[in-house]
Amino acid sequence: MNLAGWIDAYLNHLSVERALAKNTLDAYARDLNALARSLGDDAKVEDVTLEHLSRMLAANVARGFGARSSARQLSGLRGFFRFLVRERVLESDPSELIDRPRVGRRLPHVLSFEEVERLLDTPDATTDRGKRDIAMMHLMYASGLRVSELCGLKLRDLDTKAGVVAALGKGGKRRLIPVGEVALRHLGVYLEEVRPRVACGAHERATVLFVSPRGTALTRSGFWKLLKRYARVAGIMHPISPHKLRHSFATHLLRGGADLRAVQAMLGHADLGTTEIYTRVAQDHVKATHARSHPRG
């Protein structure tokens, strides 16, 4: 089998055995197919050398790749070659001697409590669209869902009596997240007054939780657009995204004294270190409050 064939086998392994998300698979495919193109159609895995990989990564940096993009690409390449070593196609990994680019951990930008309040109060609660949007934004802020998880929710995933939502996260892992009373109240209004009028007939309409006025599932890009529109109306001038609501959920919980492990479980992070970055944001808030309020701050 040539290099392109082994790339296909590896991507199939990631999809079937590791159940990676489509966006992650697409990123791996782009990087690995770029490697195959650089070597030619008939290239074999044995043709890939340390020198070749180094030249490829250096060329990408010259084209404008930052440290984060280069690190992601190297990670994808290493995963591929380790797979080949496990399959006994190669004796060693040609990428193992390449140094990983140093990537600084950027602190996530979060909304203030007041900005969240203004954002959630923006939709028109007298219209069907407004009631749906209020329910979606409240649920996202109340549970820290990723936008893909929010838009992919089915009716069965929400248990209003128990006050929990079951999110299908990365790697096909499902987790239960508590939902507060305020979000549940808005969800109840949407489920009783809005959804029955637009979600009927087709199978998708009968199962998906949040639907458009046409009865189809609301997309990630559709939710992103409505969130940005509401942010402008609320007077939030800095860039906003659905993920910023997730960042705000985690940071506000930690500022309120929540346990780090509990926040990790709600966010669906496999590594506690990923969650720990929010503690730095919360500590920055404490420091700023001290500097602003203490007589000798």
| 243 noted as active-site residue | yes
62 burial (CB, 10 Å; 0-12 / 13-18 / 19+) is: exposed
| 44 noted as active-site residue | no
DSSP assignment of 148-165: HHHHT-BGGGEETTTTEE
| 146 noted as active-site residue | yes
Q: Which of 246, 247, 252, 255 is catalytic?
A: 246
Hey, CA dihedral for 287, 275, 245, 101, is it positive or negative? positive
Q: Which of 132, 138, 146, 186 is catalytic?
A: 146
Q: Which of 82, 129, 243, 280 is catalytic?
A: 243
Q: Which of 10, 28, 141, 278 is catalytic?
A: 278
Q: What is the distance in angstroms between the CA of the first residue and the CA of the last residue of the chain?
A: 67
Tell me the CB-side half-sphere exposure of residue 216, using CA atoms within 13 A: 4
| 22 noted as active-site residue | no
Tell me the CB-side half-sphere exposure of residue 238, using CA atoms within 13 A: 6
| 132 noted as active-site residue | no
Cα separation, 26 vs 215, in Å, equals 29
Q: Which of 13, 269, 280, 285 is catalytic?
A: 269
Cα separation, 88 vs 240, in Å, equals 47
| 278 noted as active-site residue | yes
Q: Which of 109, 154, 170, 175 is catalytic?
A: 170
Q: What is the CA radius of gyration of the chain?
A: 23
Cβ neighbours around 216 below 10 Å, total: 15
User: Where in the sequence numbering do the catalytic residues fall?
Assistant: 146, 170, 243, 246, 269, 278
